[in-house]
Amino acid sequence: MKLFHRLKKQDMAGRAGRVPRHIAIIMDGNGRWAKRRGLPRTAGHSAGAENFRRIATYCKNIGVKYLTVYAFSTENWKRAEDEVSTIMNLLGKYLLEAIEKMERDGIKLVIFGDITRLPRNLAELVDVTRDINKRVEGFQVNVCINYGGRDEIIKAAERWAREKRPGSTLDEDTFAGYLYSAGVPDPDLVIRPGGEKRISNFLLWQSAYAEYYFTDRLWPDITEKDIDRAIEWFDSRERRFGGI
């Protein structure tokens, strides 16, 4: 399995070397970022969403093929109503913006998560992106909304059980095809800003062999330089996948 690809020439940002094919990010620390500035938590989410745009653009420019971000977990519904609605509105705004640019810029936008619980306008936008994705090849951004790793695994198991032919057995590749990430290679590098060293129910199946990069910096403060640092650290790791 090919895990990296070597860039043939320097990319637009002037970096050379190997970049992970798939980077996943837990966008943590928006609330604390806002608190430190005496702002409401919702302002942290606005700054976080804006930073998503900046970092996604950078990842595309340096040759990352897949970027997966954790935007809203199955547990995040427990937050205050105004915080939840702010995040939903931001997701709607950025989805709409993406829809306008996907075909022109060659960006696929895939939502990982149970969209049946999302506000209707958001679910409709997700349907529109599905339609556009059929016509687009290129950089793929997966946005996890109402996503939980355990929930994803249970839903996949249920669907497999419903659809299986009598007597059929299950193997890892077949099971992976029932996850939201069907067809997407596993993340090579998972980045978690915000100081916590937890997986938080993110890509549990897919991250079995991922390298984890933790930083205390808060998500809205994460810059292109931080992504470079994470990639350099990743590049220095020797990955053995259970071998010697």
Residues between 175 and 204 with contacts to ligand FPP, criterion CB under 6 A: 194
Q: Toward ligand FPP, which CB reaches closer, 151 or 178?
A: 151
Q: Which residue, among 220, 232, 187, 221, has the nearest Cα to 206 in the 3D structure?
A: 187
State in angstroms the smallest separation of the CB of 101 from ligand FPP. Answer: 14
Which residue from 24, 59, 64, 91 is in contact with ligand FPP, where contact means CB under 6 A? 91
Spatial contact of 235 and 17, defined as CB atoms under 8 Å apart = yes
Backbone angles phi, psi at 72, to 5 degrees: -160, 120
Which pair of tokens denotes residue 204?
A: 């549990």
Is residue 49 close enough to count as binding ligand FPP by CB under 6 A? yes
**Active centre residues (catalytic):** 28, 76
Which residue from 21, 22, 45, 60 is in contact with ligand FPP, where contact means CB under 6 A? 45
Which pair of tokens denotes residue 149?
A: 């790793």
Is residue 32 close enough to count as binding ligand FPP by CB under 6 A? yes
Size of the site for ligand FPP (CB under 6 A): 19
Is residue 66 close enough to count as binding ligand FPP by CB under 6 A? no
Which pairs with CB-CB distance under 8 Å and at least 24 residues apart come from 47-53?
A: 47/220, 48/219, 48/220, 49/90, 49/91, 49/93, 49/94, 50/220, 51/27, 51/219, 51/220, 51/222, 52/27, 52/94, 53/94
Partnered with residue 111 across adjacent β-strands are: 143
State in angstroms the smallest separation of the CB of 238 from ligand FPP. Answer: 31
Q: Which residue, among 156, 154, 217, 161, has the nearest Cα to 191 in the 3D structure?
A: 217
State in angstroms the smallest separation of the CB of 212 from ligand FPP. Answer: 17
Is residue 231 close enough to count as binding ligand FPP by CB under 6 A? no
Which residues are at the interface with ligand FPP (CB under 6 A)?
A: 27-32, 45, 48-49, 52, 69, 71, 76, 87, 90-91, 94, 143, 194
